[in-house]
């Protein structure tokens, strides 16, 4: 079984959906195809929910009309045969009736509106496959994808339920929704923005797939963030550990948690470009890469907290007290550095910041800064490699560094800087560390 996942731009127009159909039809193996919403749709649905929360119903209804019209254009271009176009039109009309009636009721669960993007894209796509006489079965992610009360995927249940659906219906091609799931209360929920990658990886693990293919709008994982840096280039092969670090620390091409289920089950993940399918892409697998920096990513919205113990030297128990505060508020720590009397750490979830600071104040002086960024260098930093940290720091003589984390894992060096310095830092690191690898550099 191969799991294919296509992102928002890959299903972003009739023309692109046809490209997706050609890609999957080219593969003769059994497959599950996970689709995102048509690009822009989830953003519009978020905006509609925001308007509804602010009681701006007219604005919400205006946006609903606009979104609905964009689908009439898409289906006009997607189907050749009148009866398929008519079926699709009826489907869109009913869907938007449903969305309008949700908008007219008091909000009970805004995730229901958010889920409609993936429900629409998968229905339209599956209907297109039927029109071109390719047999497939649409399976609802809500029948098998679920998260528990801590918002963690219920991997055992997902496996049992999905395999039952597959065993009960023998098809060569299954189509399903990324992103959406049921939560512990059996309500519609989701795996957070960009979550279709996570869906694909969870499905891959559940069916023990041969490979998970993530198809997007770029030739694989680049060595640096192409949104902020020129002269980035795709990486042929990268280890699970390195890819997981990059995803977690901001490489938007992958949802932060999406590598873990694939890694746990040793299922290779291939990143491919829907708009350039002959390009090699990036293969993520269990491999021992050579020592050095493989790629760089950056994550924004970081809060740095520094706690200086009231008791000075030999203050054992201090770190335990600090960690207990974060445990109490279920707030994960990303980076940490310590000295004898102080500890600096970072979090990315501001939800309980006020309470955390208040609690920490009981046993230390606390300072904090918001709007920081973590720059993460992923690679193989085994201690036998010499000069890597020096090379990294040499690139950044012009950038104030607030924290450095090195040695926590063999695969990561993290630097905390101000967000305003991020683009500069990413570019300096690119020039300093990758100049020789940039294909057209002299
Ligand atoms: P999809 O809608 O297919 O899920 P995303 O927009 O979520 O696509 O992810 C693809 C985008 O990720 C690329 O267009 C690129 O701008 C961005 N990106 C950020 N960092 C990287 C990286 N290191 N390598 C490749 N793409 C990256
Ligand atoms: N449609 C969702 C989003 O835009 C999920 C995804 O595309 O992965 O976040
Ligand atoms: Mg994405």
- Residue 426 sits in a domain whose CATH number is 3.30.2130.10
* Contact partners, residue 359, CB within 8 Å, separation at least 6: 325, 328
Q: 190 CA distance to ligand 3 centroid (A)?
A: 14
Same domain, 198 and 312: no
Same domain, 154 and 6: yes
Helix, strand or coil for residue 46? helix
Ligand 1 contact via 40 beta carbon (within 6 Å): no
Separation of CA 45 from chain center: 18
Which ligand 1 atom sits closest to the C-alpha of 223? 23
Ligand nearest to the CA of 253: 1
Residues within a 6 A CB radius of ligand 2: 7-8, 36-37, 42, 117, 178-179, 193-196
Q: Are 305 and 318 in contact (CB under 8 A)?
A: no
Q: Which pLDDT value is given to residue 441?
A: 41
Domain that holds residue 26: 2-217
User: What letter would DSSP give residue 38?
Assistant: P
Q: Which of 217, 232, 248 is the last residue of a domain?
A: 217
How confident is the prediction along the chain (442 residues), in pLDDT tens digits per residue? 999 999 999 999 999 999 999 999 999 999 999 999 999 999 999 999 999 999 999 999 999 999 999 999 999 999 999 999 999 999 999 999 999 999 999 888 999 999 999 999 999 999 999 999 999 999 999 999 999 999 999 999 999 999 999 999 999 999 999 999 999 999 999 999 999 999 999 999 999 999 999 999 999 999 999 999 999 999 999 999 999 999 999 999 999 999 999 999 999 999 999 999 999 999 999 998 778 899 999 999 999 999 998 875 556 788 889 999 999 999 999 999 998 788 999 999 999 999 999 999 998 899 999 999 999 999 998 877 788 889 999 999 999 999 999 888 888 999 999 999 999 999 999 999 998 876 654 4
Q: Which of 217, 239, 260 is the last residue of a domain?
A: 217
Same domain, 200 and 314: no
Ligand 1 contact via 221 beta carbon (within 6 Å): yes
Which ligand 2 atom sits closest to the C-alpha of 39? 4
Q: What is the CATH number of the domain that holds 70?
A: 3.40.1160.10
Same domain, 53 and 150: yes
Ligand 1 contact via 346 beta carbon (within 6 Å): no
90 within domain boundaries: yes
Number of domains composing the chain: 2
Residues, Cβ < 5 Å to ion ligand 3:
7, 194
Distance CA 193, CA 179 (A): 8
Mutate to test the pocket of ligand 1, among 13, 252, 274 (most ligand atoms within 8 A of CB): 252
280 within domain boundaries: no
Q: 77 CA distance to ligand 3 centroid (A)?
A: 25
Same domain, 191 and 305: no
Same domain, 310 and 199: no
Q: Which pLDDT value is given to residue 382?
A: 81
Same domain, 314 and 190: no
User: What letter would DSSP give residue 373?
Assistant: E
Same domain, 58 and 182: yes
Same domain, 202 and 342: no
Angle between helices 82-104 and 111-131 (to 10 degrees): 180
Ligand 1 contact via 247 beta carbon (within 6 Å): no
Helix, strand or coil for residue 99? helix
Mutate to test the pocket of ligand 1, among 4, 212, 218 (most ligand atoms within 8 A of CB): 218
232 within domain boundaries: no
**DSSP letter for each residue of 134-158:** ---EE--GGGT-BB-TTS-B-HHHH
56 within domain boundaries: yes
User: What letter would DSSP give residue 352?
Assistant: T
Same domain, 327 and 186: no
303 within domain boundaries: yes
Indicate whether this model's pTM tops 0.75.
Answer: yes
Same domain, 211 and 301: no
429 within domain boundaries: yes
390 within domain boundaries: yes
Same domain, 208 and 111: yes
225 within domain boundaries: no
Q: Which of 202, 217, 232 is the last residue of a domain?
A: 217
Q: 39 CA distance to ligand 2 centroid (A)?
A: 8
């Amino acid at each position: 079984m191969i799991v294919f996942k296509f992102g928002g731009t890959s299903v972003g127009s009739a023309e692109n959906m046809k490209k997706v159909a050609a890609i999957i039809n080219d593969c003769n193996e059994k497959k599950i195809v996970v689709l995102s919403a048509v690009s822009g749709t989830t953003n519009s649905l978020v905006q509609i929910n925001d308007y509804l929360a602010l009681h701006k119903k007219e604005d919400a209804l205006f946006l609903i009309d606009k979104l609905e019209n964009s689908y009439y254009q898409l289906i006009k271009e997607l189907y050749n045969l009148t009866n398929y176009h008519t079926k699709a039109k009826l489907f869109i009309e009913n869907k938007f009736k449903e969305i309008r009636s949700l908008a007219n009721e008091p909000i009970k669960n805004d995730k229901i509106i958010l889920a409609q993007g993936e429900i629409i894209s998968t229905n339209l796509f599956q209907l297109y496959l039927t029109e071109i006489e390719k047999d497939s079965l649409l399976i609802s992610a809500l029948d098998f994808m679920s998260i528990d009360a801590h918002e963690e995927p219920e991997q055992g249940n997902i496996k049992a339920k999905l395999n039952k659906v597959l065993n009960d219906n023998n098809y060569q091609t299954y189509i399903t929704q990324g992103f959406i799931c049921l939560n512990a209360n059996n309500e519609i929920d989701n795996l957070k923005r960009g979550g279709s990658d996570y869906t694909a990886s969870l499905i891959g693990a559940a069916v023990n797939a041969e490979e998970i293919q993530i198809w997007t709008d770029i030739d694989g994982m680049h060595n640096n963030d192409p949104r902020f840096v020129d002269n980035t280039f795709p990486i042929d092969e990268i280890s699970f550990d390195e890819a997981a670090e990059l995803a977690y620390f901001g490489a938007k091409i992958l949802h932060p948690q999406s590598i873990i289920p694939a890694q746990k089950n040793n299922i290779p993940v291939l990143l491919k470009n829907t708009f350039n399918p002959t390009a090699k892409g990036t293969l993520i697998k269990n491999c021992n890469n050579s020592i050095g920096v493989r790629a760089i990513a950056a994550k924004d919205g970081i809060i740095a907290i520094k706690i200086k113990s009231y008791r000075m030297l030999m203050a054992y128990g201090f770190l335990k007290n600090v960690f207990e505060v974060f445990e109490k508020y279920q707030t994960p720590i990303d980076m940490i550095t310590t000295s004898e009397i102080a500890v600096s750490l970072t979090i990315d979830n501001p939800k309980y910041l006020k309470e955390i600071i208040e609690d920490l104040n009981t046993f230390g002086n606390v300072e904090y800064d918001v709007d920081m960024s973590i720059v993460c260098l992923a690679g193989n930093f085994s201690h036998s490699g010499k000069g890597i940290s020096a090379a990294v720091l040499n690139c950044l003589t012009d950038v104030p560094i607030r924290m450095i984390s090195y040695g926590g894992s063999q695969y990561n060096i993290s630097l905390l800087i101000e967000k305003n310095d991020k683009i500069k830092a990413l570019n300096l690191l690119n020039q300093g560390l990758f100049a020789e690898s940039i294909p057209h550099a002299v």
